[in-house]
Amino acid sequence: MYEKIKNSANYITRFLENEKYTIGIILGTGLGELGKSIEIKHTIPYAAIPNFPVSTVQGHKGNLLIGKFGGKNVIAMQGRFHYYEGYPMQEVTFPVRVLHEIGVKQLFVSNAAGGVNTSFLTGELMIITDHINLFPEHPLRGKNLDELGPRFPGMTEAYSPRLIRIAEECGRKLNINLRHGVYAGLQGPSFETPAEYNWIRVIGGDAVGMSTVPEIIVARHMDMECFGISVITNSTASPEAIKTNHTEVQDIGKTAQPRMTALFREIISRL
């Protein structure tokens, strides 16, 4: 496994022209547009990278973008791998390990999520302060890769309090309203039943989605500093509101893009 990570990292490193890249971004829903704001030096299709899984979901591109954003060198994943697509957890999280091997120290992610907290409105942005892992498989299950991190990594402060503080300052400066909350991650691909949304609310979730948690666990295993934002694409507050569909999730995701891009640019420019 570690050899595979190194092979992929070596391939990508050739495009970095001896410059340092310490910032990684996963462009989930709400951040796809950010890709257009990067001064791109190289676009590497996932299919060209040795050992990389290949993206299958409609509307998700599969490229690694290498360039400058907010005045900093960044590597952005345009398209992520979801567990519901059928990949084992080790493949879902493989790119995060490769980013770390390249030298990435800070990981920024975004996602679309259902707002379980009844005060959340659709289109709002939620800073992820913590998560609840409800996936049926753990990304660190199996032999521990001691080169990468400990067998039993801690998960307190999985989302960097320092980056959250910077994000709050940036939100104030840019006049972007930011909520805070706990992201519950589960496998999908079906949206939740009313009873399931209620259960997530009862166990302490504010938002629910189908990504992010495995990536953050693997990143924290390697001691990367993590930051995540959810776009609240649908409210789960009432049975009428719950009738979630993918088109609606994508549409609301799009309206959040300019705010999300501006916020990430401001945060990254301050690092």
Of 28, 114, 171, 214, the residue at the interface with ligand HPA (CB under 6 A) is 114
Which residues are CB-contacts of 9 (< 8 A; sequence separation ≥ 6)? 98, 101, 102
Of 135, 159, 191, 264, the residue at the interface with ligand HPA (CB under 6 A) is 191
The torsion angles phi and psi of 147, rounded to 5 degrees, stand at: -65, -25
What are 119's two structure tokens? 């005060």
Give the residue nearest to ligand HPA (CB): 114
Examine residue 171 and tell whether it contacts ligand HPA (CB under 6 A): no
Beta pairing, strands 63-69 & 39-45: antiparallel
Residues 234-263 that bind ligand HPA (CB under 6 A): 234, 236, 244, 249
What are 120's two structure tokens? 């959340």
Of 7-15, 16-24, 39-47, 233-241, the window that binds ligand HPA (rule: CB under 6 A) is 233-241
> H/E/C letters for each residue in 103-131?
CCCEEEEEEEEEECCCCCCCCCEEEEEEE
Of 12, 89, 164, 208, the residue at the interface with ligand HPA (CB under 6 A) is 208
Around 39, how many Cα atoms within 13 Å sit in the side-chain half-sphere?
6
Examine residue 176 and tell whether it contacts ligand HPA (CB under 6 A): no
Examine residue 113 and tell whether it contacts ligand HPA (CB under 6 A): yes
Q: How near is the Cβ of 134 to ligand HPA at its closest, in Å?
A: 11
The torsion angles phi and psi of 189, rounded to 5 degrees, stand at: -85, -5
Examine residue 126 and tell whether it contacts ligand HPA (CB under 6 A): no
Q: How near is the Cβ of 188 to ligand HPA at its closest, in Å?
A: 6
Residues forming contacts to ligand HPA in the complex (CB under 6 A) are 112-114, 188, 191-192, 208-210, 233-234, 236, 244, 249
